[in-house]
Structure 1
Amino acid sequence: MTMGVVVACTSLTLEATCVEDWFICPNGRGVGRDPLRNCEHYPCNITLNDASGPSRNMTCSGDPFFQVCPSGDIVLRDFANNCTFFPCPPSCANDTLVCSSGDVKIANPALNCTFDPCPLMCANDTFTCPQTLAVVRRSAALNCTFSPCPPAAACSTEARYCAATKKFQRRRVDLGCDFDPCPSIKPS
């Protein structure tokens, strides 16, 4: 016994080519035309908050529908203002600043066309901590002061007697938990 599956397919070809104009809805959103509905505009999906907006019958059919501003922002046509474009947001000259770190900063309109700050670059010198002998570098997060020294490790409480000085010595953290050198006794 042989079983088969028959699948019926239908293909949909869109014969309608719609004019590429836009309708600006009362909420300010633009809708294009729907080829599946005889090129009527897509619905606006108006909410109660949008109901007090301008009349639904205003459309802008100018070409193009949007404009790219020098800042890169896109503005639409203003149907309430004879389909002229909305004004472009303020923009700055295409000035750039190359920081000493190599970062490139672009003039920022939100900062009155000044540049965002460059990252702080510190000198590449080091500091040797006296108690632990650890080496630390300058930190940009600390305004280029040296990073704090790590806490000193506690040395063992072991002691040794130095015959030359006739004193006991303890291990010293600043010497890496070693003893002070003990001078040798010279024969008399």
Structure 2
Amino acid sequence: MYAISLGDDGAELRPLEPWHAEDFLAHLERGRDFINQYIPFAAKATDPTGARAVLQRYADMRAADTGSLHGLWLDGKLVGGVLFLNFDAEAGNCEIGCWLEPAGTGRGLVTRASRVLLDWAFGERGMHRVEWHAASANTASVNVARRLGMTREGVQRESFPHRGVRLDMEIWAILAPEWPAARARLAHNDH
């Protein structure tokens, strides 16, 4: 087990595993309407069995080295998370994403946690490219990609059907050679 401090505000990045199903469900209940604006799994995990199934899916992906889920804990309470939605070590490409309940917003948690994921992907796993996909209307998510130093590569128009609407999805990415300078700018802006 790990717990990575994300600063002096009691925020930590920790595993989010099937045995956390009750915490995960309680977290989703607190923020379901907010989370479900752009994140499909909030609609799937509506009871303990559904919550466990979502977490098990990502545990299986971690075991297969194709993805993983990490919780954002604030003062011991799960308030969101970051994840590798796709992880292709052989090709050197992956995609990260995030979600939060309202109590976790406006604190820089996703940016700080994503920095940890990017450091690991580039430094430990030798990834070449990390993508970030965000609905164009999800300004908070788009702003995280921007803060991380990612480049907006394009928009897939009406490519994401969600809750009866087809959303435009922005594709952002950063390459391994770009990360050191982007990380230095990010660290400088933290002070």
**TM-score bucket of the superposed structures, by smaller chain:** under 0.3
TM-score (structure 1 length as normaliser)? 0.20
With a CA cutoff of 8 Å and minimum separation of 6, indicate the structure with the bigger relative contact order: 2
* Structure holding more helix per residue: 2
* Structure holding more strand per residue: 2
Structure whose alpha-carbon radius of gyration is higher: 1
